[in-house]
Structure formats: C-alpha cells, structure tokens
Amino acid sequence: MKLLILDRDGTLNRSRDDYVASPDEWEALPGALEAVARLNQGGWRVVLATNQSGIGRGLFDMASLNAIHTKMHRQLAAAGARVDAVFFCPHAPD
C-alpha cells in the first residue's frame, strides 16, 4: 500500500496568521484538491496529520473542527479526491 501523510494548513488549505476556526475560513489552495485526486488515481492513500491547538486554546471547539473537515471532504469529493483519515492534535503548547 502506498501511503502519503500530509499536513492540512498550508498544504491543502491557505494558512492564516490566526487559526482556521470555522468552515467559512477554510479555503483550499489552488490545485491542491486536484493533486489529491491525482494521488488517489495513482493508488495512493492520503491521510492528514494536523496540529489544531486552537481547540486547546479555546478558540474553537470540536463541532467547529468537524464542520471544517466536512467542508473539506465535500470539496475533495467534488474534485474526485478523498482523504482516508484525519488525525489531529488538539493540545495547546503548554
């Protein structure tokens, strides 16, 4: 099995100076979703590993993160792509 582990912010979506805290703030980078589709077509399984310390800092909650990822999965599917799993760390730096 071919497996590719990607970061989310700055790889699939635009990074922000603050945090992507809502679905409205999640914006795919040009060509990123299509690149995942090409990887999938080439037999790659793609998973995300993402640090989401905004949860630990109280800037957004799990419902918001789930809504962000729902939007991401829908846009991926519309591009003929999929991410097989999303792993995240919700902890603050301390």
Catalytic positions are: 7, 9
**Cα angle for residues 28, 63, 84 (degrees, 5° grid):** 50
Q: For residues 43 and 12, give the distance between their C-alpha atoms in angstroms, rounded to a whole number.
A: 19
User: What are the Cα distances from residue 10, in Å, to 55, 76, 79, 86?
Assistant: 18, 16, 19, 15
